[in-house]
């Protein structure tokens, strides 16, 4: 009898949990730049934007009718252009967003994003050693469910960590941070 009650309980919890979790695909465009601060000359500048794609998947976990937790797994192009040289930094990013429903279809979202550097190129050269292997950003944005399956969103990411490695310029203390504006569409699988 205990086994039957346990099996029924697991099935009820499993069905209820499945109804509260949705999974989907996400893709879009990232308009990124890098902000550079050099301590020796008190110089601060930003690069021109680099336009790159981003793609991946997400899971949305309903905490309540208004509140949702959304972890994502994205391949994301970042970087920027300085003096006609484009830095193409490619990352695997894991944002974890808390989403609050203003209406049934419109959400405000915010949360951290941890990224691992996959590759970095400039002028056809591999410059991955010039950057640290990871990045940490904070994201804010909004999303809209256009239909039951299709959504759209925008977000802004601001780097909180210095991505310049010690090999970037050993004579000058250099602080480089990613920032990006992202436009995405999503498709809910289930």
User: What was the pLDDT predicted at 40?
Assistant: 58
How remote is the C-alpha of 86 from its chain's centroid?
21
Residue 8 within any structural domain of the chain: no
Residue 147 within any structural domain of the chain: yes
Band of the pLDDT at 86, cuts 50, 70, 90? Answer: confident
User: What was the pLDDT predicted at 83?
Assistant: 80
Burial of 132 (0-12, 13-18, 19+ CB in 10 A): middle
User: What was the pLDDT predicted at 174?
Assistant: 78
**Total of domains in the chain:** 1
The answer to whether residue 34 scores a pLDDT higher than 60 is yes
Closest by Cα among 117, 140, 137, 138 to 127 = 117
Distance CA 41, CA 37 (A): 9
Residue 130 within any structural domain of the chain: yes
Residue 82 within any structural domain of the chain: yes
User: What was the pLDDT predicted at 39?
Assistant: 64
DSSP letter string over 83-104? Answer: TTEEEEEEEEEEEEEEEEESSS
Region 116-122 average pLDDT: 95
Residue 118 within any structural domain of the chain: yes
Domain that holds residue 73: 22-188
Q: Which residues on adjacent β-strands are paired with residue 149?
A: none
CATH code of the domain covering residue 138: 2.40.160.20
Residue 155 within any structural domain of the chain: yes
User: Token pair of 106, please?
Assistant: 């419109």
Closest by Cα among 82, 109, 122 to 182 = 109
Residue 2 within any structural domain of the chain: no
More confident residue, 80 or 40: 80
């Amino acid at each position: 009898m205990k086994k039957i009650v346990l099996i029924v309980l697991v099935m009820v919890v499993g069905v209820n949990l499945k109804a509260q979790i949705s999974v989907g695909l996400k893709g879009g465009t990232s308009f990124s730049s890098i902000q550079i601060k050099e301590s020796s000359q008190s110089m601060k500048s930003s690069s021109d934007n680099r336009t790159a794609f981003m793609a991946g998947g997400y899971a949305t976990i309903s905490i309540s009718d208004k509140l949702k937790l959304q972890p994502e797994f994205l391949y994301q192009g970042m970087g920027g252009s300085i003096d006609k040289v484009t830095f193409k930094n490619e990352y695997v990013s894991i944002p974890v967003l808390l989403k609050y429903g203003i209406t049934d279809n419109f959400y405000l979202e915010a949360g951290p994003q941890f990224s691992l550097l996959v590759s970095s190129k400039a002028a056809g050269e591999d410059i991955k050693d010039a950057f640290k292997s990871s990045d940490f950003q904070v994201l804010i944005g909004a999303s809209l469910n256009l239909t039951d399956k299709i959504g759209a969103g925008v977000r802004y990411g601001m780097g909180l960590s210095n991505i310049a490695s010690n090999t970037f310029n050993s004579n000058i203390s250099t602080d480089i941070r990613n920032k990006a504006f992202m436009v995405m569409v999503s498709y809910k699988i289930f």
